[in-house]
Structure 1
């Protein structure tokens, strides 16, 4: 029997290991986090029974990254109220993570009171299996993964390096997934808690379409239009 050729091209291998797929089990991981000034062993199963947000970022001691970690850390109470854990992940070592937490925020550090766990991925295995590793640089793209309490991937967002992510949008998505799981209805564009939802049947969807279009734009579009108008008004005021 002929032996199968072994492909060793790094780009090909990086694509082959992109196994993080929405609706499929999240790739298992294990490693050490820095949490509360201590090193702790964790794995994906550590978070079973809770929603989990994995926030991959390029590197410690950089520029956009501390602003993202601050934002998610400062919103932890809101995430915990939704039975959700948040974990930051980079390819730095646990010692680098620890040193970064000892630097004050005014100097670009995270502060020793940081509550958000930082997972070390120095082998690049976790970043590679979640499909966010830039192989030639050894750093992760700004990937964000929402994982259900049963370990299933529900949402994936990957930003290029220059732009940070939105905590508010992450919270909105978790609330929406929790609502759909509990109520069996689906959430339209821009949905927020308390907005109308859609019954995913032909008749039920028509009820929604008729309801929102009889009074103008749907909830999310009304909010977006309002925000846009306010933004233009503020800009005009500043420039006048």
Structure 2
């Protein structure tokens, strides 16, 4: 019999409670606070590094578009809340990330990263990205090495595709699907119509 000891798509996301920094203040956040919305969890290695600020700022810059899709973002690293605050109090030109549009969560005890299976042997979080639906179910995850940043545009495309198939249960989204493009009817007979049209 196969045993599963790691998270996968379709699992309930592990709940957590932790201190976050948002709008220059400390705030207690629980994953369960976000039930009823889509949530992007953005794990990253460390503050004050190289690739990390490019991702953190890029997601903040696209926050309005993500929020318009009934979704929120949480950034998570193993830094303390004080480190997060110092990073956010520095402007971008000085090596900080400035005011962000979403909270940064402190995972100093590394329990959140461990529960989402993104903690590496050095005690840092890998670049794990999870999209969690309104019911708290993991619908997508992607894990990059420390050296490779993620795409905000692809995250938004994936979020839209997830939302589309959840609201159209008889359809599935093909490769590179974008809103407004044809999806595939998931019945064997009707699926042929899509392939005949491409």
TM interval, shorter chain, is over 0.9
> Among residues 64, 86, 103, which one is paired with 2:73 in the alignment?
86
CA-to-partner distance for each residue in 1:85-138, whole Å, 9 max, x for gaps? 011000000000000001110122011x22221000000000011001013x11
**Partner in structure 2 of residue 171 of structure 1:** 156
Give the distance between the partners of 1:17 and 1:166, measured in 2 at CA: 29
Residues 90-105 of structure 1 aligned to structure 2 (within 5 Å): 90-105=77-92
CA-to-partner distance for each residue in 1:13-42, whole Å, 9 max, x for gaps? xxx996321101011111011000011111
> Among residues 211, 215, 229, which one is paired with 2:197 in the alignment?
211
CA-to-partner distance for each residue in 1:124-164, whole Å, 9 max, x for gaps? 000011001013x1110000000001000000100001110
Residues 182-197 of structure 1 aligned to structure 2 (within 5 Å): 182-184=167-169, 185-197=171-183
Residues 61-210 of structure 1 aligned to structure 2 (within 5 Å): 61-111=48-98, 113-135=99-121, 137-184=122-169, 185-210=171-196
Stretches of structure 1 that go unaligned for 5 or more consecutive residues are 1-15, 213-240
Stretches of structure 2 that go unaligned for 5 or more consecutive residues are none
Aligned length: 195
Quickly say closer, same or farther: Cα 1:166–1:18, change in 2 above 3 A.
farther
Q: Who wins on radius of gyration, i.e. which is larger?
A: 1
Give the distance between the partners of 1:24 and 1:38, measured in 2 at CA: 32
> Among residues 37, 41, 48, which one is paired with 1:50 in the alignment?
37
> Scaled by the length of structure 1, what TM-score is found?
0.79
> Among residues 12, 24, 27, which one is paired with 2:14 in the alignment?
27
SS at match of 1:61: coil
Give the distance between the partners of 2:37 and 2:173, measured in 1 at CA: 21
> Scaled by the length of structure 2, what TM-score is found?
0.96
SS at match of 1:181: helix
- Runs ≥4 residues deviating over 6 A: none
Give the distance between the partners of 2:40 and 2:148, measured in 1 at CA: 18
1:60 partnered with 2:60: no
CA-to-partner distance for each residue in 1:180-202, whole Å, 9 max, x for gaps? 01112100000000011000011
SS at match of 2:20: strand
